[in-house]
């Protein structure tokens, strides 16, 4: 019997086919599932999460460098630049390219005046970009270039420059390191002036090597033209600085306004500062006192009391008031005059500034009516001048008045005002009763496109009759009252003196604020001028410390503006005291404010800066010569005490050439008119000592 053979384990064909087919389906399904997962993932990356991933990639591969736009320039009304932008170098680093950050920092820090460890920390905390120092000087840029350091680069930026330094510094303002306005017009119109920044997009590979860049240029800022006049501003600052030096006062303000348009022609606030180095100045020097300083006006506020009484027909210029020999009892307190007066007409009550007379006028008005007029004349509210930091002043409602308040307010106490509020009131008197909003901005433009500025809004606050009566009585103040030192050479003027006591910490009312405000010529006013002297030492009445400054500013400004003389019989005195250099500055530094001549602007912009005139006071004993109306040739001149020099023949010379030559010879120049020299005194060829005052008349 043979061996039994085992059964074959080979699968039958009918059973193997389904198994192979199943495996193929399983493998295909797995491949399809894998492909679906990949597609879904790609869809998620490319569609759903695309924006986020693209942003992350761009942040890793690209960095943007913002380029500051060119800031718009600021000009005065004659298009003389007051602020401009200059191109300078800024230094930045690509820290990833620095081979040795510590060594690079130790090389750069001494050159740039920086701290080594601080600079090293900047390099270590960023990877692609960091500023080293912005807006460096040409010398610093040159020294860094000479080091030829890898990873250190330069970028051109703009730096703000103020060519006249401290001139009109509080009005023009200043900018910070980031080119943002921090004061004055630079701050209030920052959005207009700064423009829109440009950008540079730099792409880098994985090794931080730049391989492409794209640039989008910025939009330059708009230019601003102010109502200020550079030369009138210089006149006001110089006259104010001389008075602060003489009186050792703490500060001072002078405002010059066109009463017919509301335009501010000059706004002087001292002490001042240099906006090119604003960080070195104390905060008090950067304060714009014309808009942001509150003070008690004293007797200059009596115009409010009198105008309100005239409007209500409670008095008239000819009415006689008994001033009770200098004293009146009110709420248990005696209000005294500075000297005893008896019967005075209302005109003379104002001319002599009788407190008793004005208390009586204020009592006629009554509390509620008087308060309404004070508000109507603009006090207790902002003038809305286009300057930052304006104050509203201090004015309490009648419900908070004491029994003495109406008398105190009648003479300018128990109220706080700003210089611009006072100027607005007196300009309204000058122009016939319309209170016009003061303005500093004249025009805004970019290229040939000008933004149209509407006229300054105005509203009638008193009748034309009241304004005319007030004008006549304020003229009497200057003619024979407390404002005699404000009489002008060749022009009529009108105005009011004021003296207010000021609280001194720990010493009570031991300081004073002296002021004068007025307009000229009196009949057809061209300028309104306010002068306020804070805390003078010694003489402190507005008659003594402020009225002479008004006179100096008014005479020079009216001559510069070629305003026709309406009182040629009155000529200024020539005084012997030499100009006093401004407080805290060298004479040469202050004369750096003197605007340069610009022939393209015509004769109207040539620097005509007559010497200031100081009235005769008890402290002065000047030699003087009365100049006849027909010309300036006088047989008497004020001689200096220096070496002899020969007077040149200035006939046909321009004002600037005359000024330069007089400066070389040491002669004190006094110019009248504009154009070319047609007359002079002393005559040409005469030998006179250096320091002699010389008169030159210009004409077209």
Q: Domain 230-572 is classified in which CATH homologous superfamily?
A: DD-peptidase/beta-lactamase superfamily (3.40.710.10)
The pLDDT of residue 529 is above 50 = yes
The pLDDT of residue 616 is above 70 = no
- Which CATH code for domain 586-700? 3.30.10.20
Q: For the beta carbon of residue 678, count every other beta carbon within 10 angstroms.
A: 16
- DSSP secondary structure string for all residues of 626-672: PPPTT-S--S-----SS-EEEPP--TT-BHHHHHHHHHHHTPEEEEE
The pLDDT of residue 346 is above 90 = yes
Q: Hey, where are the domains in the chain?
A: 64-222, 230-572, 586-700
Grade residue 617 by pLDDT with cuts at 50, 70 and 90.
very low
Instruction: Summarize the confidence of residues 353-382 as an average pLDDT.
Output: 95
- Fold agreement between 64-222 and 586-700: no
Domain 64-222 sits in CATH 3.40.50.300: no
pLDDT more than 70, % of the chain:
82
Q: What is the pLDDT of residue 13?
A: 54
Q: What is the pLDDT of residue 16?
A: 57
pLDDT more than 90, % of the chain:
47
Choose among 137, 151, 65: nearest CA to 107. Answer: 151
Highest mean pLDDT among 88-102, 532-546, 658-672: 532-546
Residue 419 or 585, more confident = 419
Q: What is the pLDDT of residue 599?
A: 31
Q: What is the pLDDT of residue 95?
A: 83
* Helix pair angle (419-431, 302-311), 10° resolution: 40
The pLDDT of residue 600 is above 90 = no
Q: What is the pLDDT of residue 542?
A: 92
**H-type helices in 176-301, by residue range?**
184-188, 190-193, 230-247, 283-286, 289-292
User: CA–CA distance from 640 to each of 598, 619, 643, 665 (Å)?
Assistant: 32, 20, 9, 12
- pLDDT tens figures, 114-139: 888 888 888 887 777 788 888 788 88
The pLDDT of residue 110 is above 70 = yes
Instruction: Summarize the confidence of residues 521-542 as an average pLDDT.
Output: 93
Residues 6+ apart with CB under 8 A from 647: 667, 680, 682, 683, 684, 685, 686, 687, 688, 694
Handedness of CA 671, 575, 613, 584 (dihedral sign): positive
The pLDDT of residue 607 is above 60 = no
The pLDDT of residue 371 is above 50 = yes
Strand (E) or helix (H) holding 320: strand 320-322
State the residue for tokens 């109220």. 415
Q: What is the pLDDT of residue 654?
A: 79
Grade residue 441 by pLDDT with cuts at 50, 70 and 90.
very high
The pLDDT of residue 635 is above 70 = no
The pLDDT of residue 142 is above 60 = yes
- pLDDT tens figures, 283-336: 889 999 999 999 999 999 999 999 999 999 999 999 999 999 989 999 888 998
Instruction: Summarize the confidence of residues 331-356 as an average pLDDT.
Output: 92
- pLDDT tens figures, 31-85: 888 888 888 888 877 778 777 777 777 666 666 666 777 889 999 999 999 999 8
Grade residue 507 by pLDDT with cuts at 50, 70 and 90.
low
Instruction: Summarize the confidence of residues 96-106 as an average pLDDT.
Output: 84
pTM above 0.75, yes or no: no
State the average pLDDT for the chain: 82
Among the listed ranges 380-389, 467-476, 574-583, which one has the minimum average pLDDT value?
A: 574-583
């Amino acid at each position: 019997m043979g061996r039994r053979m085992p059964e074959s384990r080979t699968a039958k064909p009918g059973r193997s086919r389904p198994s192979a087919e199943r495996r193929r389906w399983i493998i295909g399904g797995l491949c399809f599932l894998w492909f679906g997962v990949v597609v879904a993932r790609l869809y998620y990356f490319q569609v759903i999460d695309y924006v986020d991933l693209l942003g992350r990639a761009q942040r890793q591969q690209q960095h943007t460098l913002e380029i500051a736009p060119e800031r718009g320039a600021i000009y005065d009304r004659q298009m003389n630049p007051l602020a401009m932008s200059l191109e300078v170098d800024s230094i930045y680093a690509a820290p990833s390219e620095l081979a040795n950050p510590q060594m690079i920092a130790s090389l750069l820090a001494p050159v740039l005046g920086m701290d080594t460890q601080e600079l090293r920390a900047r390099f270590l905390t960023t990877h692609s970009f960091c500023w080293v120092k912005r807006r460096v000087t040409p010398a610093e840029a040159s020294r860094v270039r000479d080091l030829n350091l890898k990873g250190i680069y330069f970028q051109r930026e703009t730096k703000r420059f103020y060519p006249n330094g401290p001139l009109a510094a509080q009005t023009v303002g200043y900018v910070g390191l980031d080119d943002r306005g921090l004061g004055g017009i630079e701050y209030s119109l920052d959005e207009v002036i700064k423009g829109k920044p440009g950008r540079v997009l730099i792409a880098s590979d994985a090794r931080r090597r730049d391989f492409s860049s794209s640039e989008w240029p910025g939009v330059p800022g708009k230019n601003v033209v102010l109502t200020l006049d550079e030369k009138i501003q210089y006149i006001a600052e110089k006259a104010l600085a001389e008075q602060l030096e003489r009186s050792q006062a703490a500060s001072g303000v002078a405002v010059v306004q066109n009463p017919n348009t509301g335009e501010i022609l000059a706004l002087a606030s001292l002490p001042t500062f240099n906006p090119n180095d604003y960080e070195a100045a104390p905060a008090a020097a950067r304060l714009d006192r014309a808009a942001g300083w509150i003070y008690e006006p004293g007797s200059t506020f009596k115009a409010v009391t009198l105008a309100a009484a005239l409007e209500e027909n409670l008095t008239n210029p000819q009415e006689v008031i008994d001033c009770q020999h200098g004293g009146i009892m009110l709420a248990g307190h005696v209000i005294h005059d500075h000297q005893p007066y008896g019967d005075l007409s209302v005109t003379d009550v104002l001319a002599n500034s009788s407190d008793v007379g004005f208390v009586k006028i204020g009592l006629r008005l009554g509390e509620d009516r008087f308060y309404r007029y004070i508000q109507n004349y603009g006090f207790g509210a902002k003038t809305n001048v286009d300057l930052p930091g304006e104050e509203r002043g201090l004015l309490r409602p009648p419900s908070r008045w004491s029994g003495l308040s109406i008398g105190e307010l009648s003479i300018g106490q128990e109220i706080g005002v700003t210089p611009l509020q006072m100027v607005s009131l007196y300009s309204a008197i000058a122009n016939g009763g319309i209170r016009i909003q003061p303005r500093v901005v004249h025009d805004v433009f970019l290229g040939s496109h000008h933004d149209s500025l509407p006229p300054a809004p105005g509203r009638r606050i008193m009748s034309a009759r009241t304004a005319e009566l007030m004008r006549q009585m304020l003229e009497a103040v200057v003619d024979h009252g407390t404002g005699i030192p404000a009489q002008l050479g060749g022009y009529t003027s009108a105005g009011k003196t004021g003296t207010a006591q000021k609280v001194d910490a720990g010493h009570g009312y031991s300081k004073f604020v002296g002021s004068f405000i007025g307009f000229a010529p009196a009949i057809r006013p061209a300028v309104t001028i306010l002068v306020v002297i804070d805390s003078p030492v010694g003489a402190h009445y507005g008659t003594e410390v402020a009225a002479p400054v008004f006179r100096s500013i008014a005479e020079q400004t009216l001559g510069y503006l070629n305003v026709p003389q309406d009182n040629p019989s009155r000529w200024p005195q020539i005084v012997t005291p030499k100009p006093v250099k401004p407080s805290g500055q060298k004479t040469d530094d202050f004369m750096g404010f003197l605007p340069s001549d610009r022939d393209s602007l015509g004769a109207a912009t040539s620097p005509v800066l007559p010497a200031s005139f100081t009235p005769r006071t008890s402290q002065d004993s000047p030699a003087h010569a009365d100049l006849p109306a027909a010309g300036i040739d006088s047989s008497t001149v004020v001689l200096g005490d220096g070496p002899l020099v020969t007077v040149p023949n200035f006939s046909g010379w321009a004002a600037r050439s005359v000024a330069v030559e007089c400066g070389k010879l040491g002669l004190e120049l006094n110019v009248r008119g504009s154009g070319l020299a047609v007359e002079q005194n002393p005559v040409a060829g005469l030998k006179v000592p250096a320091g002699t005052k010389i008169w030159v008349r210009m004409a077209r």
